[in-house]
Structure 1
Amino acid sequence: MHALVQGLILGVLTAGVYALMASGQTLIFGVMKVVNLAQGALVILGAYLAYQLFVSLGIDPFLAIPITSVAMFGLGAGIQWLFLRPLRKEDRSELSLLVTFAVALLIEGVLSVLWHTTYRSINTGYANDSWTVFGFQITLVRLWAFLLSLAALGLLHLLLNRTRFGRAVRATVQNPESARLLGIESDLVSAFGFGLGAATAAAAGSVYGLLYAFNSGSHYDLISRLLSIVVLGGLGSIGGAVLGALIVSTSSAVIAATISPAWSEMTFFVILIAILLVRPQGIFGSTARGAL
């Protein structure tokens, strides 16, 4: 029982980080109907930026998030404007897979040249600190990462539901043609949406670098998890991404703690297949165009 509860605690705390990564992925799909295969690479790029700021300037990874998020927002908007906007609308969904995968390989190549393929990690003074609560270990870094992810997801929710930009995004998701007739620049909204997805990747990357060792190729495993989360929760649903991250993270952590770490890697794929057999559109997905 102790191992089960400890696994649940670990899974819930880690789920916040994965939810933050996946929220950017599902936001991009909701706005553009683009499955962004570069999201994992953007997370790893965010981790490297936070690592370099910490090593060179001594900036704490949590304090580096505003810096890296702004930089990655610009990068994400540039990727959409330069590589995705020119695609023909009727072929965009299919061609975007190739384009975003090419972007992921480009980012991996740049990271390999700049930092080589050696594994890195952000080792702060508090990296190994933990609290013991009723006999259960709570790692300080994971707790702060969880709280940060909740705050970032809350800000994202407010942005999408309480601002003019959010209304433009939701209008574009619901009916892009009608949004265009109302004067909404869908290309501009798409660029901002992709930039916002990249900014969430930067925030998650700073935390990821604190929790795990990484190198330029770490995005391959990461993108498989993120795709599983967004498909499980329902493509285009941020609430689904949060729930999907919770299911994936807690199930893997519980299996690792109670049975074997060797089985934890395939757990979420089994859950994904089981849920999709019953509900092919995912938990919160819709057969029609959604509203985030």
Structure 2
Amino acid sequence: MRGGGLVSQMVATLAFSILLYGGLNAYASYLGYVYNVQSRDVTLGFLDYELGGGIRAVFLVSIILAIAFILSLYLFLNKTRLGISIRATVENSSLAESMGINTKLVKAISWFLAGGIASAAGSLYPLQFVFSPTLAYSILLSIFAASVLGGLMSLFGGFIGGFIEGFIEKYIMAELSIYLSPVIGVSPFVINQYSTLVPLIVVAAVLLIAPNGIMGIRVK
């Protein structure tokens, strides 16, 4: 929204996302009814392959890609003129603009960078998990929890927080459901459905213990 404040832009972004999801779901329904194509709850796991020792290719590729992105972003934000302009705009937009930085262009580039990185991550997601047009809403809380856990103002904090939160939500909960299944008499699948509570617990714990996240903890 041109000329709008932060709140106005957030509301406009939310409205646009609802419109976009509506269009995606309408298109998914069209593919299903007209062409009999399954476009919801789809997985591309059959395209993945095992490297050996139970390690899947997507696991190795995702780690390499994450490290490459985090290092590239660090160098970009600290060693290039555009990257420094982005940091200056984030820290103090008015001061950056007074120094001659085109803050509107910087913000637009930042949005494109964020969208590109998210797209790269999204391209790997269906190789391991089931995806659908409404996937973003289901993982939004997990992404927010990972950011809070690592530290909202830290680049490496987001990487560390994402790894820890994902490990707890996907691996620990899966193993815990197997052990608890015979104890409480329900299937592991039912127990694992409560893994969506993990992000809420993580956010609550971090805000109580370390509001600035892991990277904000000062060791004395």
TM-score, reference length from structure 1: 0.60
Q: Deviations over 1:17-38 (max 9, x none)?
A: xxxxxxxxxxxxxxxxxxxxxx
SS for the counterpart of 1:284 is helix
**Aligned mates of 1:99, 1:238 — CA distance in 2:** 27
Matched, 1:187 2:109: no
2:76 matches 1:159: yes
Counterparts of 2:194 and 2:21 in 1: how far apart (Å)? 28
The correspondence of residues 100-111 of structure 1 with structure 2, limited to 5 A, is 100-111=13-24
Change (3 A) 1:185 1:98: same
Instruction: Give the structure 2 partner of residue 267 of structure 1.
Output: 198
Q: 2:65 aligns with which of 148, 156, 161?
A: 148
Cα distance change, pair 232–165 in 1 and its aligned pair in 2 (3 A): same
Matched residue type, 1:200: I
Are the structure 2 counterparts of residues 258 and 119 from structure 1 closer, same or farther at C-alpha, using a change threshold of 3 Å?
Answer: closer
Q: Which runs of 5+ in 2 are unaligned?
A: 30-38, 178-191
Deviations, residues 56-77 of structure 1 (Å, cap 9, x unaligned): xxxxxxxxxxxxxxxxxxxxxx
Q: Is the aligned partner of 1:223 residue 2:144?
A: no
- Kindly indicate whether residue 125 of structure 2 is the aligned counterpart of residue 208 of structure 1: yes
Q: CA deviation at 1:108?
A: 0.9
Match of 1:118 among 17, 40, 52: 40
The residue correspondences of 1:225-264 to structure 2 (distance < 5 A) are: 225-260=142-177, 261-264=192-195
Decide which of 71, 81, 90 is 1:173's aligned counterpart: 90
Alignment of 1:28-47 (within 5 A): none
Larger radius of gyration: 2
What CA RMSD, in Å, does the superposition of the two structures yield over aligned residues? 2.2
The alignment of Structure 1 onto Structure 2 pairs a total of residues equal to 194
For the 8 Å contact 2:40–2:132, the answer to whether it is kept is yes
Say if 1:256 and 1:262, in contact at 8 Å, map to a contact too. Answer: no
Displacement of 1:180:
1.1
The answer to whether the Cα contact below 8 Å between 1:131 and 1:140 also exists between their aligned partners in 2 is: no
Give the Cα separation in 2 of the matches to 1:123 and 1:230.
27
Structure 2 residue identity aligned to 1:97: M
Equivalent pairs: percent with the same residue?
30
Partner of 1:129: 50
Shift, 1:128, TM fit: 4.1
The aligned residue for residue 5 of structure 1 is: none
Partners of 2:148 and 2:213 within 8 A in 1? yes
**What is the letter of the counterpart of residue 159 of structure 1?**
F
Q: In structure 2, what is the Cα distance between the partners aligned to 1:143 and 1:113?
A: 35
Deviation at 1:262, TM superposition (A): 4.3
Cα 1:253–1:212, aligned 2, differ >3 Å: closer, same or farther?
A: closer
Compute the TM-score of the two structures, normalised by the length of structure 2. 0.78
Unaligned runs of 5+ in 1: 1-82, 287-292
- Conserved 8 A contact 2:150-2:213: yes
Q: Which amino acid aligns with 1:151?
A: A
